[in-house]
Structures are given as C-alpha cells and as structure tokens.
C-alpha cells in the first residue's frame, strides 16, 4: 500500500465515514424510541418542559413558576419543534438530532482552523476525524442539551481568530464586529462562556498591538 493510498483511506475517507455515521445517528431518535430514553439527560427534560409551555403560550414556565435557569439560545431554537409537532416524542427527537447536527457542523470549522494552523490538508483532515470520532463529545452532544450548539459557536470563534493570527496581520473594524457577534453567540449558548471569551479577546488585542 503506497503512502498516498494510505492517506486517502486513513484521513479523507475516515472523515467521510464519520460524517455518514453522524448523519445516521441523527435519524436514530426518530426510528428507535429507546434511543430517546437512553440519550436525553434529566436536565434536557427541564428544557423540553419550558419549551413546551413557551410554545403553547404559557410563557417561560416550569412546574407552574417562572424560570430563568436555562441557556436562552438553545431554548428558543428548540421551542418551534414543540409548536410544529404534536406527538410528544417528535419534538424531543428533533432536539436530539439538532444537537448532533451542530456538532457535525463544528467539524467544518475545526478542519478550517487546523488547515490554517498546520498549512496542510492531511493534518487538517486528521484533526477533523479526531474531533468527530470523539466518543466523549458525541455522548455530550446527543443528550438534548445545548452542548452541540456551544461547540459549534466556539469552533467558529476559534476559526475567526486563527484566520487572523496565522494568515494576516490586518485587523479591520469588520473583524472586531464579527468577533463581537460570534462572541455574543457563544455567550447566548452558555452564559459561562464569559470565562472563556476574555482570554481570547486579550489574545486578539495583543496580536493587534504587535501588528501595528
């Protein structure tokens, strides 16, 4: 087996296989009801209860009381499922699949960032494969919680920073506006992103200062 054929199988093809497997797992909640009971966390049902009440016009209610113990963006994304679909398990299946979809899309940004850092397709594909094949991450994003959306937002943020750090010294106003918008997206995904964002912004400011 030549080096080129080994690469074609171990990296590029492996990524395609992982994409196919993730697409299949997105269908699993709609086919196997037991998948829902095995995957969804208890905290996810907290989201589902609020989303169902919000979709029915009762407001942000949990157990008859107003609640604020949730991550806002994920709640508002899954609420339409409870408005559109009447079967009890259908909107939950959609929420589980949506988390996996965002994780799959995050692999695109992980690969783009890796390609900037390593300056090669081989390592970029391998990095993407490692990311998408992580069993620990998969189990976290398939619970019905906001993890997949959060990882997608962080991966996009890292790509924006990597593109500036490794490809250009120009920090235009459009970059700061985009960085601010995606940082806001991360914050809406998980409020504790406030602990991650300041170091990234300081790094960008330091890079901007050195480039002047």
Nearest to 204 by CA among 182, 189, 191, 188: 182
pLDDT at residue 95, rounded to an integer: 94
pLDDT at residue 186, rounded to an integer: 94
**Longest alpha-carbon distance in the chain:** 65
User: Per-10-residue mean pLDDT for the chain, 212 residues long?
Assistant: 50 86 92 87 90 90 82 93 85 94 96 86 89 93 94 94 72 84 94 89 78 66
Q: Would you tell me the crossing angle of helices 90-118 and 147-167 to the nearest 10 degrees?
A: 20
pLDDT at residue 6, rounded to an integer: 45
pLDDT at residue 174, rounded to an integer: 83
Give me the DSSP letters along 9-20.
IIIIHHHHHHHH
Q: Would you tell me the crossing angle of helices 13-31 and 121-132 to the nearest 10 degrees?
A: 20
Cα separations (Å) of 48 from 23, 95, 120, 125, 199? 23, 9, 43, 36, 33
pLDDT at residue 38, rounded to an integer: 87
CB environment 74-100: b (16+ within 10 A), e (fewer): bbebbbebbeeeeeeeebbbbbbbbbb
Which residues contact residue 52 at a Cβ distance below 8 angstroms, ignoring those fewer than 6 apart?
Answer: 82, 91
Q: What's the pTM?
A: 0.87
CB 96 within 8 A of CB 144: yes
pLDDT at residue 7, rounded to an integer: 46
Chain centre distance of CA 163? 19
């Amino acid at each position: 087996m030549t080096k080129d054929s080994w690469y074609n199988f171990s990296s590029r093809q492996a990524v395609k296989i992982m994409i196919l497997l993730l697409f299949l797992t997105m269908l699993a909640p709609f086919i196997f009801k037991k998948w829902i009971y095995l995957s969804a966390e208890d905290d996810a049902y907290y989201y589902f209860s609020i989303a169902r009440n919000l979709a029915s016009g009762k407001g942000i209610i949990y157990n008859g009381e107003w609640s604020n113990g949730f991550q806002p963006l994920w709640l508002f994304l899954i609420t339409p499922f409870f408005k559109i679909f009447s079967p009890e398990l259908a909107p939950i299946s959609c929420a589980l699949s949506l988390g996996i979809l965002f994780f799959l899309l995050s692999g695109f940004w992980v690969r783009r960032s890796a390609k900037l850092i390593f300056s090669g397709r081989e390592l970029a594909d391998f990095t993407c494969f490692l990311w998408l094949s992580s069993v620990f991450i998969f189990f976290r994003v398939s619970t019905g919680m906001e993890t997949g959306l959060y990882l997608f937002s962080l991966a996009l943020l890292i790509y924006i920073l990597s593109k500036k750090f490794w490809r250009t010294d120009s920090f235009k106003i459009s970059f700061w506006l985009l960085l601010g918008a995606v940082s806001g997206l991360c914050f809406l995904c998980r409020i504790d992103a406030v602990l991650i964002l300041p170091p990234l912004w300081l790094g960008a400011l330091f890079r901007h200062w050195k480039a002047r």
